[in-house]
A and B are shown apart, each in its own frame.
Chain A
């Protein structure tokens, strides 16, 4: 019985490997479900979110972010420690090969400072950099709450 299970597991694992080898190569970085929170008029800052998956063989590091319509962007993380809400800057986002990272309310997020204007239902172009090298550009909608939920 045990041997049978092992054989089954090996067969499943092998077929998975073969299947993935047959798949057409996906983009090395995929970014989905991006959005920027619409902020009240006169707000000094807003937040941006997205989900990123690293399908390349190399570690991705996002050390700098720009967004049109905003003076500057920082990477921040909200955390809850002993009932206390804290928000701190994060130097970089690091995504290992094959790994994903989700920027979401209450966790890691982009902090977008000094919006020029942010009409709801318009788009913001966000560029992610590793040092000076742009690694991805995304157009994301401005919305009051997560438009993908």
Chain B
């Protein structure tokens, strides 16, 4: 205790070093551009969807892997295939950069269950390659699931008697144990999503 000022200097230097060191490990949340990390991750409420892969998916079937969820419908010829193609490409691009058990599946959840049969969804999803599948649920079950994850959709009647669906354009990242881990908000830019996704998967 001969030199309290000197001790203080040493202590501050040590604390600063510790802080700096911590900042430079992967324990700090990554800086993200288009994604929002949920901390803590949020447990999904119980749900049940008909899947093109197996009969149903629920929290259990999403519990052992990562999943990117996008909402759309098969009669959307522009942005839905664009997004699925993009997500499928990102999945391919990052395959060599992360552990195999972290490579996310891509799940299209139909917001048009009236027209999107399981057979139609199956053809549609398979077309976008490995790791892509789809799911549907009738009105109430779909409403429940989408409400839980903060997605909205609305049927819009058109003049010619046809209809279209408005829907939330976000992509969700579901982690093991069926937890909502992150949300990617539009505009969905391939390079930014890939960068953010890699950063999140390396961090979590």
Q: Is the CB of A86 within 8 A of B166?
A: yes
A37-B81, A40-B127, A41-B127 in contact; A83/B169 too (CB < 8 A)? Answer: yes
Segment of B23-31, B38-46, B54-62, B118-126 in the binding face? B118-126
* Residues A44 and B74 in contact, CB atoms below 8 Å apart: yes
Contact among B120, B156, B160, B186 with A42 in the assembled complex (CB-CB below 8 Å): B120
Q: B77, B126, B152: which contacts A46 (Cβ < 8 A)?
A: B77
CB <8 Å contact, B124 and A84: no
A80 at the interface (CB under 8 A from B): yes
Tell me if A's interface is mostly helix, strand, loop or mixed: strand
> Given that A44-B74, A44-B75 are contacting pairs, would A85 and B186 also be in contact in the complex, using a CB cutoff of 8 Å?
yes
B78-A111 in contact (CB<8A): yes
Q: Is A43 an interface residue (CB 8 A)?
A: yes
| Category for how many chain A residues contact B | 20 to 34
A111-B152 Cα distance, complex, nearest whole Å: 24
Using an 8 Å CB-CB cutoff, how does the interface string of B82-106 with A read, 1 for contact, 0 for none?
A: 1001000000000000000000000
Q: Which of A41, A84, A87, A144 has a CB less than 8 Å from the CB of B85?
A: A144
A109 within 8 A of B: yes
Highest count of chain A CB atoms <10 Å: which of B75, B78, B120? B78
Q: Interface of B with A (CB < 8 Å)?
A: 72, 74-79, 81-82, 85, 120, 123-124, 126-128, 152, 156, 158-160, 164, 166-170, 185-187
A-to-B contact residues, CB < 8 Å: 37, 39-47, 76, 78, 80, 83-89, 105-106, 109, 111-112, 144-145
With A47-B81, A86-B166, A105-B82 known, 12 other A-B pairs at CB within 8 A are: A39-B81, A40-B124, A42-B120, A45-B77, A80-B169, A83-B170, A84-B167, A85-B169, A88-B158, A89-B158, A105-B79, A112-B77
